[in-house]
């Protein structure tokens, strides 16, 4: 029997809000517009990078042949969505 890797991830309010917004694919600009916790795009971008680092969020660019690639200097050209692990985190933490 395999043991599931259970690393508890505690997210700040901003990251939790962004993850909730990204159940379906959302553009960076849309995330910035809908975000209530923070209005500054650079801070929202940092939160998205944190979520990607924890594998809770992934870039999902339909126009790019490599859909998982995003340019951290041009976040407005990318869209993002929660991963299965991100959805699981929301379910376990009542954030969904």
**Domain CATH for 23:** 1.10.10.10
Residue 65 lies in a domain: yes
Of residues 31, 20, 6, 3, the one with CA closest to residue 95:
20
Range of lowest pLDDT (56-65, 66-75, 86-95): 66-75
Residue with tokens 């890797």: 5
pTM (predicted TM-score): 0.84
Pairing of strands 26-27, 79-82: antiparallel
Distance, in Å, from the CA atom of 2 to the CA atom of 17, rounded to the nearest integer, reads 32
Residue 2 lies in a domain: no
Residue 85 lies in a domain: yes
What are 5-26's pLDDT values in tens digits? 556 788 999 999 999 999 999 9
Domain that holds residue 51: 13-92
What are 64-82's pLDDT values in tens digits? 555 556 777 778 888 999 9
CA 2 and chain centroid, separation: 28
Residue 8 lies in a domain: no
């Amino acid at each position: 029997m395999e043991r599931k890797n259970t690393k508890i991830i505690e997210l700040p309010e901003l990251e939790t809000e962004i993850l909730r917004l990204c159940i379906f694919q959302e553009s960076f600009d849309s995330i910035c517009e809908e975000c209530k916790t923070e209005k500054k795009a650079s801070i929202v971008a940092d939160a998205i990078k944190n979520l990607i680092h924890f594998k809770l969020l992934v870039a999902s660019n339909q126009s790019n042949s490599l859909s998982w690639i995003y340019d951290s200097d041009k976040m407005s050209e990318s869209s993002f969505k929660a991963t299965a692990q991100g959805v699981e985190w929301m379910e376990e933490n009542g954030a969904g």
